[in-house]
Amino acid sequence: MAVTSVNKQLSTTRIECGGSFNVKLSVTAEPDIVQNPTDIVLILDRSNSMEGRALADLKKGAKAFVDIIDQSSDGNQNGKIGNGSRIGVVSFSTNATQDRRLTTSVTSLKNTIDGLTAGGSTNHADAFTKAWNLFDSNSNNARVMVMFTDGKTTAGGNPNAVATAAKNQGVSIYVIGLNGTGGIDRQALRSWASDPDSRYLAIAPDSGDLEDLFEDLARDIASPGATSVLLNDVLDPCFEITAMQDPTVGGAEITSDNSLRWEIDALGEESSQTAVLEFTAKHVGSCTGRVEVDQSLTYEDDQGSQPSFPSPYIYVDCDEDENDCCPEPVCFSITGCGGTAEVDACTMLLDSPGHILQLDVTLRNVCPGKRVALAVILSEVDSCGKEHDCGMRTLVVPAHNNSACRDVTVPCLQFVLPRMQNAEARNRPACARRSFRARFLANYLDHGFHCGCSGK
């Protein structure tokens, strides 16, 4: 897969009820040759019929081919084919010659191509054989032959057998035919080329077309990272797409209140390329708390890529009372005289990153044999000094049996603190400093016993 990364990012992790946020979709792809190194042998016809303009146009096209592979293999046209790919050159007339063994040097390849001269007959079988012998049997690289010819076979053996054997060994064969003075055997070219013909066979009516054909063929061998890309993003019905920027690559349209469609013809044709689409969404539904933004996000391309996009969540704050940090109460009643009552109070969603506050308190001079009723009232103080109730804890402190009054420490009085819901709190970071006040009330539960101590 030449799609190297995908992402979906939100501009914020929390919005108020009815608030908006930005979404950024991105897809990065690079030519397939970057991840799948390829050895390529150019097999170039230099028979007598190529004399003059035809040979000049062939050289121009072959050198353009080398430049595109140079660019696609590492993202730079720097004179060196990158990431393990290599190109070699075989030329042929009456006999074939291995003019340049597999190399990464663009300069040496172009010098070899420029040095070709025309003359002699046309020996396709020897050309395929010499090209096959250039490949390294110890290499795991993909193997490709690019056969160019302007005439029928006039020397040597049967090229069909050699080409078929090469294809059976996993070699892909591209064929470019030029309608030269001697004509070409279209059926023979079809039998040499890999299938389908629409991809692996091209016929040039004029040598002036060779440069374009060689360039198209090079791009096909390098293989764009992704072609015919289609991305459909459908948001949760709680959100509506209100605006969209033009994508950096391709075209996009909003297809409904909460969905869009993004199409890209090709991505990563010559080097690593990132396409970005940004849009704005608004909260319009009744959902609150932690909400998954996407209902669905699908991707497809001609290469069958199946990248995995993240599915981000956003917190939606829709509490009506902005000044109360405590949740809404659950009301219920009980009947009967039983000792216990069981109530199914509520079903709740964990909708905010809460905190646990733990307090310890020491009661001074608690007399023996007396239980103590203890209450803790907690409030949060905003920047204006206003208090917001955050709960109360009550408990009974068991009596101690010491012979005299003593201090009693009550540990681990815990409060669960939700995020403060007023407007000030919504606009500050989740880990910002918070201020609280705690009030303590304590009284004896047991009366009528005098322990002789001087204090409560």
Q: What is the CATH number of domain 355-444?
A: 2.60.40
The model's confidence at residue 22, banded by pLDDT at 50, 70 and 90, is very high
Question: Each residue of 278-293: pLDDT tens digit?
Answer: 999 999 988 888 899 9
Tell which residue, 443, 454, 339, 444, has the closest CA to residue 405: 454
Q: What is the CATH number of domain 3-31+225-317?
A: 2.60.40.740
In sequence order, what are the beta bridge partners of 175? 147, 201
3-state secondary structure of 409: strand
Q: What is the pTM of this model?
A: 0.56
Question: Each residue of 32-72: pLDDT tens digit?
Answer: 887 789 999 999 999 998 989 999 999 999 999 999 999 88
Helix (H) or strand (E) holding 60: helix 53-74
Main-chain dihedrals φ then ψ at residue 184, nearest 5 degrees: -130, 155
* Alpha-carbon gap, residue 207 to 28, rounded angstroms: 37
Where do the CATH 3.40.50.410 domains begin and end in the chain? 32-222
Question: Each residue of 410-436: pLDDT tens digit?
Answer: 888 888 876 655 545 555 555 667 888
Angle between helices 124-134 and 159-168 (to 10 degrees): 30
Q: Are 353 and 289 in contact (CB under 8 A)?
A: no
Half-sphere exposure of 443 (CA within 13 A, CB side): 5
Q: Are 73 and 83 in contact (CB under 8 A)?
A: yes
Query: What contacts 324, CB < 8 A, 6 or more positions away?
Result: 388, 389, 421
C-alpha dihedral (116, 121, 126, 130), degrees to nearest 10 = 0
pLDDT of 323? 43
Q: Are 53 and 181 in contact (CB under 8 A)?
A: no
CB neighbourhood size of 85 (10 A):
25
Where do the CATH 2.60.40.740 domains begin and end in the chain? 3-31+225-317
The model's confidence at residue 325, banded by pLDDT at 50, 70 and 90, is very low
- Looking at domain 32-222, its CATH superfamily turns out to be von Willebrand factor, type A domain (3.40.50.410)
Average pLDDT of every residue of the chain:
86
Q: Provide the b/e sequence for 303-322 (b: ≥16 CB within 10 Å).
A: bebebebeeeebbbbbbeeb
* Alpha-carbon gap, residue 269 to 278, rounded angstroms: 23
Query: What contacts 123, CB < 8 A, 6 or more positions away?
Result: 92, 93, 94, 95, 96, 153, 154, 155, 156
Report residue 290 as tokens: 């932690």
Main-chain dihedrals φ then ψ at residue 307, nearest 5 degrees: -70, 155
Please tell me which residue, 116 or 456, carries the higher pLDDT value.
116
pLDDT of 326? 46
Mean pLDDT, residues 375-379 taken together:
89
3-state secondary structure of 246: coil
Say whether the peptide bond before residue 196 is cis (omega within 30 degrees of 0): yes
Question: Each residue of 108-144: pLDDT tens digit?
Answer: 999 999 999 999 999 999 999 999 999 998 999 999 9
pLDDT for residue 240 is more than 70: yes
* Rounded alpha-carbon distances, angstroms, from residue 263 to 2, 23, 227, 286: 17, 17, 10, 32
pLDDT of 324? 43
